[in-house]
Structure 1
Protein backbone atom coordinates (compact mmCIF):
# COMPACT_ATOMS: atom_id res chain seq x y z
CA UNK A 1 0.00 0.00 0.00
CA UNK A 2 1.29 3.47 -0.90
CA UNK A 3 1.50 5.73 2.13
CA UNK A 4 2.59 8.85 0.27
CA UNK A 5 1.99 9.75 -3.39
CA UNK A 6 3.67 12.80 -4.89
CA UNK A 7 1.91 13.45 -8.20
CA UNK A 8 3.26 15.82 -10.88
CA UNK A 9 4.45 18.41 -8.36
CA UNK A 10 5.89 21.65 -9.74
CA UNK A 11 6.90 24.84 -7.95
CA UNK A 12 7.51 28.25 -9.52
CA UNK A 13 8.72 31.23 -7.51
CA UNK A 14 7.59 34.66 -8.70
CA UNK A 15 9.26 38.01 -8.25
CA UNK A 16 8.54 41.43 -9.73
CA UNK A 17 10.91 40.83 -12.63
CA UNK A 18 11.01 37.08 -13.18
CA UNK A 19 9.70 33.59 -12.58
CA UNK A 20 12.01 30.89 -11.21
CA UNK A 21 11.14 27.24 -11.78
CA UNK A 22 12.21 25.20 -8.72
CA UNK A 23 10.54 21.79 -9.16
CA UNK A 24 9.17 20.34 -12.39
CA UNK A 25 6.65 17.49 -12.66
CA UNK A 26 8.00 15.33 -9.83
CA UNK A 27 6.13 12.08 -9.16
CA UNK A 28 6.92 9.12 -6.94
CA UNK A 29 5.23 6.86 -4.41
CA UNK A 30 6.40 5.78 -0.96
CA UNK A 31 4.96 2.46 0.28
CA UNK A 32 3.92 2.11 3.91
CA UNK A 33 6.97 1.44 6.10
CA UNK A 34 9.58 2.45 3.51
CA UNK A 35 12.57 4.70 4.22
CA UNK A 36 13.26 6.93 1.19
CA UNK A 37 16.05 9.49 0.86
CA UNK A 38 16.07 12.47 -1.51
CA UNK A 39 19.42 13.71 -2.82
CA UNK A 40 20.42 16.27 -5.43
CA UNK A 41 22.65 19.31 -6.03
CA UNK A 42 22.57 22.13 -3.50
CA UNK A 43 19.70 24.51 -4.13
CA UNK A 44 17.72 22.12 -6.32
CA UNK A 45 14.64 22.20 -4.09
CA UNK A 46 14.94 19.11 -1.86
CA UNK A 47 13.71 20.88 1.28
CA UNK A 48 11.03 22.65 -0.75
CA UNK A 49 9.68 19.25 -1.78
CA UNK A 50 9.72 18.11 1.85
CA UNK A 51 7.75 21.22 2.87
CA UNK A 52 5.17 20.46 0.18
CA UNK A 53 4.74 16.90 1.47
CA UNK A 54 4.35 18.32 4.98
CA UNK A 55 1.60 20.66 3.80
CA UNK A 56 3.62 23.73 4.78
CA UNK A 57 3.93 24.90 1.18
CA UNK A 58 1.41 24.65 -1.64
CA UNK A 59 2.77 23.50 -5.02
CA UNK A 60 2.22 25.63 -8.11
CA UNK A 61 0.74 22.52 -9.69
CA UNK A 62 0.42 18.87 -8.78
CA UNK A 63 -0.82 17.11 -5.67
CA UNK A 64 0.34 15.13 -2.64
CA UNK A 65 -1.70 12.30 -1.14
CA UNK A 66 -1.30 10.56 2.20
CA UNK A 67 -3.33 7.35 2.48
CA UNK A 68 -5.05 8.42 -0.77
CA UNK A 69 -6.26 11.64 0.89
CA UNK A 70 -5.23 14.93 -0.71
CA UNK A 71 -2.94 17.04 1.46
CA UNK A 72 -4.53 20.47 1.86
CA UNK A 73 -2.58 21.70 4.87
CA UNK A 74 -0.53 20.43 7.78
CA UNK A 75 -1.53 16.83 8.45
CA UNK A 76 -1.52 15.21 11.91
CA UNK A 77 -0.15 12.12 10.17
CA UNK A 78 3.12 13.98 9.49
CA UNK A 79 6.03 14.42 11.89
CA UNK A 80 8.94 16.72 10.95
CA UNK A 81 12.56 16.63 12.14
CA UNK A 82 14.69 19.61 11.17
CA UNK A 83 18.46 20.13 10.85
CA UNK A 84 18.62 21.51 14.39
CA UNK A 85 17.02 19.71 17.31
CA UNK A 86 15.21 22.93 18.34
CA UNK A 87 15.11 21.87 21.99
CA UNK A 88 14.36 24.61 24.52
CA UNK A 89 17.38 25.07 26.80
CA UNK A 90 15.31 26.08 29.82
CA UNK A 91 13.13 22.96 29.68
CA UNK A 92 14.06 19.50 30.88
CA UNK A 93 14.21 16.54 28.50
CA UNK A 94 10.80 15.40 29.76
CA UNK A 95 9.23 18.83 29.26
CA UNK A 96 10.77 19.18 25.78
CA UNK A 97 9.26 15.83 24.78
CA UNK A 98 5.89 16.79 26.26
CA UNK A 99 5.74 20.23 24.62
CA UNK A 100 3.82 19.21 21.49
CA UNK A 101 1.26 17.33 23.58
CA UNK A 102 0.83 20.38 25.81
CA UNK A 103 0.28 22.64 22.80
CA UNK A 104 -2.32 20.21 21.41
CA UNK A 105 -3.86 19.89 24.90
CA UNK A 106 -3.34 16.14 24.78
CA UNK A 107 -1.09 15.76 27.80
CA UNK A 108 -2.91 13.29 30.05
CA UNK A 109 -2.17 10.16 32.06
CA UNK A 110 -2.07 8.01 28.92
CA UNK A 111 0.32 10.25 26.98
CA UNK A 112 2.48 10.84 30.07
CA UNK A 113 2.89 7.08 30.31
CA UNK A 114 3.83 6.98 26.63
CA UNK A 115 6.55 9.59 27.23
CA UNK A 116 7.97 7.50 30.06
CA UNK A 117 7.91 4.36 27.91
CA UNK A 118 9.70 6.00 24.98
CA UNK A 119 12.34 7.59 27.21
CA UNK A 120 13.04 4.21 28.80
CA UNK A 121 12.94 2.33 25.51
CA UNK A 122 15.55 4.59 23.95
CA UNK A 123 17.88 4.95 26.95
CA UNK A 124 16.93 8.45 28.03
CA UNK A 125 14.98 7.72 31.20
CA UNK A 126 17.94 8.55 33.45
CA UNK A 127 18.30 11.92 31.69
CA UNK A 128 14.65 13.04 31.74
CA UNK A 129 15.36 15.78 34.29
CA UNK A 130 18.49 17.00 32.49
CA UNK A 131 18.54 20.06 30.24
CA UNK A 132 19.65 19.98 26.58
CA UNK A 133 23.03 21.62 27.30
CA UNK A 134 23.85 18.62 29.51
CA UNK A 135 23.37 16.14 26.66
CA UNK A 136 25.55 15.02 23.77
CA UNK A 137 24.52 15.94 20.22
CA UNK A 138 23.37 12.41 19.57
CA UNK A 139 21.22 12.32 22.69
CA UNK A 140 19.65 15.65 21.75
CA UNK A 141 18.65 14.23 18.36
CA UNK A 142 17.07 11.22 20.07
CA UNK A 143 15.10 13.59 22.31
CA UNK A 144 13.95 15.51 19.23
CA UNK A 145 12.83 12.28 17.57
CA UNK A 146 10.97 11.09 20.67
CA UNK A 147 9.26 14.49 20.88
CA UNK A 148 8.02 13.82 17.34
CA UNK A 149 7.13 10.16 17.93
CA UNK A 150 5.06 10.86 21.04
CA UNK A 151 2.56 12.67 18.78
CA UNK A 152 2.20 9.35 16.92
CA UNK A 153 2.75 10.50 13.32
CA UNK A 154 2.58 7.89 10.58
CA UNK A 155 5.05 9.61 8.26
CA UNK A 156 8.35 11.14 9.38
CA UNK A 157 10.02 13.86 7.31
CA UNK A 158 13.69 14.41 8.09
CA UNK A 159 15.51 17.46 6.74
CA UNK A 160 19.28 16.90 7.08
CA UNK A 161 18.72 15.64 10.65
CA UNK A 162 22.37 14.71 11.31
CA UNK A 163 24.18 17.53 9.50
CA UNK A 164 25.09 19.42 12.69
CA UNK A 165 26.92 16.41 14.16
CA UNK A 166 30.57 15.44 13.77
CA UNK A 167 31.28 12.51 11.44
CA UNK A 168 31.60 9.73 14.02
CA UNK A 169 28.54 10.88 15.98
CA UNK A 170 26.64 11.24 12.71
CA UNK A 171 27.30 7.59 11.82
CA UNK A 172 26.19 6.33 15.23
CA UNK A 173 23.15 8.57 15.54
CA UNK A 174 22.06 7.81 11.97
CA UNK A 175 22.13 4.14 12.82
CA UNK A 176 20.22 4.71 16.07
CA UNK A 177 17.54 6.89 14.48
CA UNK A 178 17.09 4.44 11.61
CA UNK A 179 16.56 1.59 14.08
CA UNK A 180 14.06 3.64 16.11
CA UNK A 181 12.04 4.50 12.99
CA UNK A 182 12.08 0.85 11.94
CA UNK A 183 11.05 -0.33 15.42
CA UNK A 184 8.17 2.18 15.52
CA UNK A 185 7.03 1.07 12.02
CA UNK A 186 7.06 4.56 10.54
CA UNK A 187 7.29 5.64 6.91
CA UNK A 188 10.22 8.03 6.48
CA UNK A 189 11.36 10.51 3.82
CA UNK A 190 14.76 12.11 4.41
CA UNK A 191 16.58 14.92 2.61
CA UNK A 192 20.36 14.67 2.75
CA UNK A 193 23.48 15.87 0.92
CA UNK A 194 25.34 12.76 2.03
CA UNK A 195 25.09 10.00 -0.59
CA UNK A 196 26.71 7.40 1.68
CA UNK A 197 24.18 8.22 4.38
CA UNK A 198 21.30 7.89 1.93
CA UNK A 199 22.50 4.53 0.59
CA UNK A 200 23.23 3.09 4.03
CA UNK A 201 19.91 4.07 5.60
CA UNK A 202 17.34 3.90 2.79
CA UNK A 203 15.37 1.37 0.82
CA UNK A 204 15.30 3.83 -2.09
CA UNK A 205 17.19 6.94 -3.09
CA UNK A 206 15.41 9.59 -5.17
CA UNK A 207 17.90 11.65 -7.21
CA UNK A 208 16.81 15.12 -8.26
CA UNK A 209 18.45 17.07 -11.08
CA UNK A 210 19.70 20.64 -10.83
CA UNK A 211 17.06 23.38 -10.90
CA UNK A 212 14.43 23.20 -12.21
CA UNK A 213 14.56 19.87 -10.42
CA UNK A 214 13.11 16.81 -12.07
CA UNK A 215 13.24 13.23 -10.82
CA UNK A 216 16.40 12.02 -12.50
CA UNK A 217 16.58 8.51 -11.07
CA UNK A 218 14.87 6.31 -8.48
CA UNK A 219 17.45 3.87 -7.10
CA UNK A 220 16.21 0.80 -5.24
CA UNK A 221 18.65 -0.30 -2.52
CA UNK A 222 18.75 -4.05 -1.85
CA UNK A 223 21.58 -4.26 0.66
CA UNK A 224 21.22 -6.75 3.57
CA UNK A 225 18.84 -5.85 6.40
CA UNK A 226 21.58 -4.90 8.87
CA UNK A 227 22.51 -1.65 10.59
CA UNK A 228 23.48 1.33 8.39
CA UNK A 229 27.06 1.11 9.67
CA UNK A 230 27.27 -2.57 8.68
CA UNK A 231 25.69 -1.77 5.30
CA UNK A 232 28.67 0.45 4.50
CA UNK A 233 30.88 -2.65 4.74
CA UNK A 234 28.87 -4.61 2.16
CA UNK A 235 30.56 -5.29 -1.22
CA UNK A 236 27.68 -3.72 -3.17
CA UNK A 237 27.64 -0.51 -1.12
CA UNK A 238 30.13 1.24 -3.42
CA UNK A 239 28.14 0.16 -6.49
CA UNK A 240 25.01 1.90 -5.19
CA UNK A 241 27.06 4.92 -4.10
CA UNK A 242 28.55 5.26 -7.58
CA UNK A 243 25.17 4.71 -9.23
CA UNK A 244 23.73 7.67 -7.30
CA UNK A 245 26.87 9.81 -7.64
CA UNK A 246 26.96 9.60 -11.44
CA UNK A 247 23.39 10.94 -11.57
CA UNK A 248 24.21 14.02 -9.49
CA UNK A 249 24.58 17.18 -11.58
CA UNK A 250 27.54 18.32 -9.47
CA UNK A 251 29.98 18.98 -12.30
CA UNK A 252 27.53 19.83 -15.06
CA UNK A 253 26.78 23.31 -16.32
Structure 2
Protein backbone atom coordinates (compact mmCIF):
# COMPACT_ATOMS: atom_id res chain seq x y z
CA UNK A 1 0.00 0.00 0.00
CA UNK A 2 1.22 3.51 -0.84
CA UNK A 3 1.77 5.58 2.28
CA UNK A 4 2.56 8.76 0.36
CA UNK A 5 1.99 9.84 -3.24
CA UNK A 6 3.57 12.81 -5.02
CA UNK A 7 1.53 13.69 -8.09
CA UNK A 8 2.45 16.07 -10.94
CA UNK A 9 4.40 18.55 -8.79
CA UNK A 10 5.55 21.79 -10.42
CA UNK A 11 7.22 24.65 -8.55
CA UNK A 12 7.96 28.08 -10.03
CA UNK A 13 9.48 31.04 -8.20
CA UNK A 14 8.36 34.49 -9.37
CA UNK A 15 10.30 37.75 -9.15
CA UNK A 16 10.36 41.18 -10.83
CA UNK A 17 12.69 39.73 -13.48
CA UNK A 18 10.40 36.85 -14.35
CA UNK A 19 10.08 33.36 -12.96
CA UNK A 20 12.35 30.39 -12.32
CA UNK A 21 11.29 26.81 -12.77
CA UNK A 22 12.44 24.76 -9.78
CA UNK A 23 10.51 21.48 -10.10
CA UNK A 24 8.85 20.07 -13.20
CA UNK A 25 6.25 17.29 -13.37
CA UNK A 26 7.50 15.12 -10.50
CA UNK A 27 5.46 12.06 -9.54
CA UNK A 28 6.27 9.04 -7.39
CA UNK A 29 4.89 6.97 -4.52
CA UNK A 30 6.38 5.62 -1.29
CA UNK A 31 5.14 2.40 0.26
CA UNK A 32 4.49 2.00 3.96
CA UNK A 33 7.71 1.13 5.79
CA UNK A 34 9.88 2.00 2.80
CA UNK A 35 13.13 4.01 2.97
CA UNK A 36 13.43 6.27 -0.10
CA UNK A 37 16.40 8.57 -0.74
CA UNK A 38 16.40 11.54 -3.11
CA UNK A 39 19.67 12.59 -4.75
CA UNK A 40 20.44 15.21 -7.38
CA UNK A 41 22.83 18.04 -8.31
CA UNK A 42 23.36 20.86 -5.81
CA UNK A 43 20.63 23.47 -6.07
CA UNK A 44 18.27 21.31 -8.12
CA UNK A 45 15.42 21.60 -5.63
CA UNK A 46 15.68 18.49 -3.44
CA UNK A 47 14.94 20.37 -0.21
CA UNK A 48 12.17 22.33 -1.94
CA UNK A 49 10.52 19.05 -2.88
CA UNK A 50 10.86 17.80 0.69
CA UNK A 51 9.28 21.01 2.02
CA UNK A 52 6.36 20.59 -0.40
CA UNK A 53 5.87 17.00 0.79
CA UNK A 54 5.92 18.28 4.39
CA UNK A 55 3.22 20.83 3.60
CA UNK A 56 5.53 23.73 4.44
CA UNK A 57 5.47 25.08 0.85
CA UNK A 58 2.53 25.09 -1.55
CA UNK A 59 3.54 23.93 -5.05
CA UNK A 60 2.61 25.91 -8.16
CA UNK A 61 0.59 22.88 -9.17
CA UNK A 62 0.31 19.23 -8.22
CA UNK A 63 -0.83 17.31 -5.17
CA UNK A 64 0.50 15.29 -2.25
CA UNK A 65 -1.50 12.39 -0.81
CA UNK A 66 -0.98 10.69 2.56
CA UNK A 67 -2.90 7.44 3.01
CA UNK A 68 -4.82 8.36 -0.18
CA UNK A 69 -6.01 11.65 1.32
CA UNK A 70 -4.97 14.93 -0.27
CA UNK A 71 -2.59 16.95 1.90
CA UNK A 72 -4.05 20.41 2.53
CA UNK A 73 -1.63 21.58 5.24
CA UNK A 74 1.08 20.27 7.57
CA UNK A 75 0.19 16.71 8.57
CA UNK A 76 0.54 15.29 12.07
CA UNK A 77 1.53 12.03 10.39
CA UNK A 78 4.87 13.56 9.36
CA UNK A 79 8.01 14.41 11.30
CA UNK A 80 10.83 16.55 9.85
CA UNK A 81 14.51 16.28 10.77
CA UNK A 82 16.64 19.14 9.46
CA UNK A 83 20.27 19.39 8.31
CA UNK A 84 21.32 20.75 11.69
CA UNK A 85 19.98 19.41 14.95
CA UNK A 86 18.29 22.74 15.83
CA UNK A 87 18.57 21.99 19.56
CA UNK A 88 18.08 24.82 22.02
CA UNK A 89 21.42 25.21 23.79
CA UNK A 90 19.81 26.61 26.96
CA UNK A 91 17.48 23.62 27.37
CA UNK A 92 18.18 20.14 28.68
CA UNK A 93 17.88 17.00 26.57
CA UNK A 94 14.48 16.33 28.13
CA UNK A 95 13.17 19.82 27.40
CA UNK A 96 14.45 19.60 23.84
CA UNK A 97 12.78 16.28 23.06
CA UNK A 98 9.47 17.38 24.58
CA UNK A 99 9.40 20.71 22.71
CA UNK A 100 6.91 19.61 20.05
CA UNK A 101 4.59 18.13 22.66
CA UNK A 102 4.58 21.39 24.61
CA UNK A 103 4.09 23.51 21.47
CA UNK A 104 0.98 21.49 20.64
CA UNK A 105 -0.24 21.92 24.26
CA UNK A 106 -0.39 18.18 24.79
CA UNK A 107 0.20 16.37 28.05
CA UNK A 108 3.81 15.24 28.42
CA UNK A 109 2.73 12.55 30.88
CA UNK A 110 0.92 10.64 28.12
CA UNK A 111 4.16 10.50 26.11
CA UNK A 112 6.58 10.01 29.01
CA UNK A 113 6.82 6.20 28.94
CA UNK A 114 7.52 6.12 25.21
CA UNK A 115 10.12 8.89 25.45
CA UNK A 116 11.88 7.22 28.37
CA UNK A 117 11.97 3.97 26.39
CA UNK A 118 13.48 5.76 23.38
CA UNK A 119 16.11 7.44 25.56
CA UNK A 120 16.99 4.13 27.21
CA UNK A 121 17.04 2.07 24.01
CA UNK A 122 19.27 4.53 22.19
CA UNK A 123 21.81 5.25 24.91
CA UNK A 124 20.69 8.67 26.12
CA UNK A 125 18.89 7.92 29.37
CA UNK A 126 21.92 8.94 31.45
CA UNK A 127 22.09 12.28 29.62
CA UNK A 128 18.50 13.37 30.15
CA UNK A 129 19.53 16.43 32.20
CA UNK A 130 22.55 17.33 30.06
CA UNK A 131 22.66 20.35 27.76
CA UNK A 132 23.43 20.16 24.02
CA UNK A 133 26.94 21.64 24.35
CA UNK A 134 27.80 18.72 26.66
CA UNK A 135 26.97 16.13 23.97
CA UNK A 136 28.90 14.81 20.99
CA UNK A 137 27.68 15.55 17.47
CA UNK A 138 26.29 12.05 17.10
CA UNK A 139 24.44 12.23 20.40
CA UNK A 140 22.93 15.57 19.42
CA UNK A 141 21.57 14.01 16.23
CA UNK A 142 20.01 11.18 18.22
CA UNK A 143 18.36 13.74 20.52
CA UNK A 144 17.03 15.53 17.42
CA UNK A 145 15.69 12.22 16.09
CA UNK A 146 13.97 11.33 19.36
CA UNK A 147 12.41 14.82 19.38
CA UNK A 148 11.12 14.07 15.86
CA UNK A 149 9.80 10.69 17.00
CA UNK A 150 8.23 12.10 20.18
CA UNK A 151 4.80 12.67 18.62
CA UNK A 152 4.98 9.28 16.90
CA UNK A 153 4.84 10.39 13.25
CA UNK A 154 4.28 7.70 10.63
CA UNK A 155 6.45 9.36 7.95
CA UNK A 156 9.88 10.85 8.61
CA UNK A 157 11.39 13.47 6.29
CA UNK A 158 15.17 13.78 6.64
CA UNK A 159 16.94 16.73 5.00
CA UNK A 160 20.68 15.98 4.88
CA UNK A 161 20.51 14.85 8.53
CA UNK A 162 24.18 13.87 8.83
CA UNK A 163 25.85 16.59 6.72
CA UNK A 164 27.09 18.60 9.73
CA UNK A 165 29.05 15.63 11.14
CA UNK A 166 32.62 14.56 10.43
CA UNK A 167 32.95 11.51 8.18
CA UNK A 168 33.57 8.88 10.85
CA UNK A 169 30.77 10.16 13.07
CA UNK A 170 28.52 10.39 10.01
CA UNK A 171 29.04 6.72 9.19
CA UNK A 172 28.41 5.62 12.76
CA UNK A 173 25.37 7.78 13.45
CA UNK A 174 23.73 7.01 10.08
CA UNK A 175 24.12 3.34 10.95
CA UNK A 176 22.55 3.85 14.39
CA UNK A 177 19.70 6.03 13.13
CA UNK A 178 18.93 3.55 10.33
CA UNK A 179 18.51 0.81 12.93
CA UNK A 180 16.30 3.07 15.06
CA UNK A 181 14.03 3.91 12.13
CA UNK A 182 13.72 0.27 11.08
CA UNK A 183 12.95 -0.79 14.63
CA UNK A 184 10.29 1.91 14.93
CA UNK A 185 8.78 0.84 11.58
CA UNK A 186 8.76 4.29 10.01
CA UNK A 187 8.32 5.30 6.38
CA UNK A 188 11.31 7.50 5.49
CA UNK A 189 12.14 10.00 2.74
CA UNK A 190 15.71 11.30 2.93
CA UNK A 191 17.42 14.01 0.88
CA UNK A 192 21.17 13.56 0.63
CA UNK A 193 24.19 14.46 -1.50
CA UNK A 194 25.98 11.28 -0.42
CA UNK A 195 25.43 8.53 -3.00
CA UNK A 196 26.92 5.81 -0.77
CA UNK A 197 24.70 6.88 2.11
CA UNK A 198 21.61 6.77 -0.10
CA UNK A 199 22.39 3.32 -1.52
CA UNK A 200 23.36 1.73 1.79
CA UNK A 201 20.28 2.96 3.68
CA UNK A 202 17.50 2.84 1.09
CA UNK A 203 15.07 0.50 -0.60
CA UNK A 204 14.99 2.89 -3.56
CA UNK A 205 17.06 5.87 -4.72
CA UNK A 206 15.32 8.60 -6.73
CA UNK A 207 17.56 10.71 -9.00
CA UNK A 208 16.60 14.27 -9.96
CA UNK A 209 18.00 16.20 -12.92
CA UNK A 210 19.44 19.70 -12.99
CA UNK A 211 17.01 22.57 -12.46
CA UNK A 212 14.25 22.57 -13.36
CA UNK A 213 14.39 19.27 -11.53
CA UNK A 214 12.63 16.38 -13.21
CA UNK A 215 12.46 12.78 -12.07
CA UNK A 216 15.25 11.15 -14.03
CA UNK A 217 15.20 7.60 -12.76
CA UNK A 218 14.54 5.45 -9.68
CA UNK A 219 16.91 2.65 -8.67
CA UNK A 220 15.52 -0.33 -6.77
CA UNK A 221 18.23 -1.36 -4.31
CA UNK A 222 18.39 -5.13 -3.83
CA UNK A 223 21.54 -6.62 -2.40
CA UNK A 224 22.55 -10.29 -2.57
CA UNK A 225 21.38 -10.72 1.03
CA UNK A 226 19.60 -8.86 3.80
CA UNK A 227 21.74 -6.67 6.07
CA UNK A 228 20.99 -5.24 9.49
CA UNK A 229 23.43 -2.38 8.98
CA UNK A 230 24.15 0.13 6.18
CA UNK A 231 27.87 -0.29 6.92
CA UNK A 232 27.56 -4.00 6.17
CA UNK A 233 25.66 -3.39 2.94
CA UNK A 234 28.58 -1.31 1.63
CA UNK A 235 30.59 -4.53 1.47
CA UNK A 236 28.09 -6.21 -0.87
CA UNK A 237 29.34 -6.96 -4.37
CA UNK A 238 26.33 -5.08 -5.84
CA UNK A 239 27.11 -1.89 -3.93
CA UNK A 240 29.79 -0.64 -6.35
CA UNK A 241 27.54 -1.34 -9.34
CA UNK A 242 24.70 0.70 -7.84
CA UNK A 243 27.12 3.49 -6.92
CA UNK A 244 28.49 3.70 -10.46
CA UNK A 245 25.01 3.67 -12.00
CA UNK A 246 23.73 6.47 -9.75
CA UNK A 247 26.93 8.45 -10.33
CA UNK A 248 26.50 8.17 -14.10
CA UNK A 249 22.94 9.45 -13.87
CA UNK A 250 24.09 12.44 -11.84
CA UNK A 251 27.09 13.07 -14.04
CA UNK A 252 25.03 13.18 -17.22
CA UNK A 253 22.04 15.09 -16.03
CA UNK A 254 21.75 17.20 -19.18
CA UNK A 255 21.60 14.25 -21.54
TM range, smaller chain: over 0.9
Q: Report the counterpart of residue 160 of structure 1 in structure 2.
A: 160
Match of 2:250 among 245, 248, 252: 248
Q: Report the counterpart of residue 239 of structure 1 in structure 2.
A: 241
The 2-side partners of 1:249 and 1:49 are apart by 21
Secondary structure of the 2:38 match is strand
Show structure 2 runs of 5+ residues with no match. none
Aligned residues: 253
The 1-side partners of 2:193 and 2:101 are apart by 32
The 1-side partners of 2:252 and 2:121 are apart by 41
Tell me if 1:52 matches 2:47: no
Deviates more, 1:215-224 or 1:157-166: 215-224
Q: Report the counterpart of residue 24 of structure 1 in structure 2.
A: 24
What's the CA shift for 1:99? 1.0
Secondary structure of the 1:14 match is strand
Q: Contact 1:98 / 1:107 at 8 angstroms: preserved in 2?
A: no
What's the CA shift for 1:249? 4.1
The 2-side partners of 1:212 and 1:172 are apart by 34
What's the CA shift for 1:250? 6.3
Where does 1:105-184 land on structure 2 (aligned, <5 Å)? Answer: 105-184=105-184
Q: Report the counterpart of residue 89 of structure 1 in structure 2.
A: 89
What's the CA shift for 1:113? 1.9
Q: Report the counterpart of residue 192 of structure 2 in structure 1.
A: 192
Q: Which runs of 4+ in 1 moved over 3 A?
A: 249-253
Q: Report the counterpart of residue 66 of structure 1 in structure 2.
A: 66
Q: Contact 2:209 / 2:253 at 8 angstroms: preserved in 1?
A: no
TM-score by length of 1: 0.98
Alpha carbon RMSD of aligned pairs, Å? 1.2
Show structure 1 runs of 5+ residues with no match. none
What's the CA shift for 1:116? 1.0
What's the CA shift for 1:110? 2.2
The 2-side partners of 1:40 and 1:50 are apart by 13
The 2-side partners of 1:40 and 1:179 are apart by 25
TM-score by length of 2: 0.97
The 2-side partners of 1:184 and 1:113 are apart by 15
Q: Report the counterpart of residue 14 of structure 2 in structure 1.
A: 14
For residues 137-173 of structure 1, the C-alpha deviation after alignment (integer angstroms, 9 at most, x for no partner) is 0000000000010111000000000000000100010
Q: Report the counterpart of residue 34 of structure 1 in structure 2.
A: 34
Secondary structure of the 2:75 match is coil
Distance 1:13 1:177, change over 3 A: same
Q: Report the counterpart of residue 225 of structure 1 in structure 2.
A: 226
Secondary structure of the 1:205 match is strand
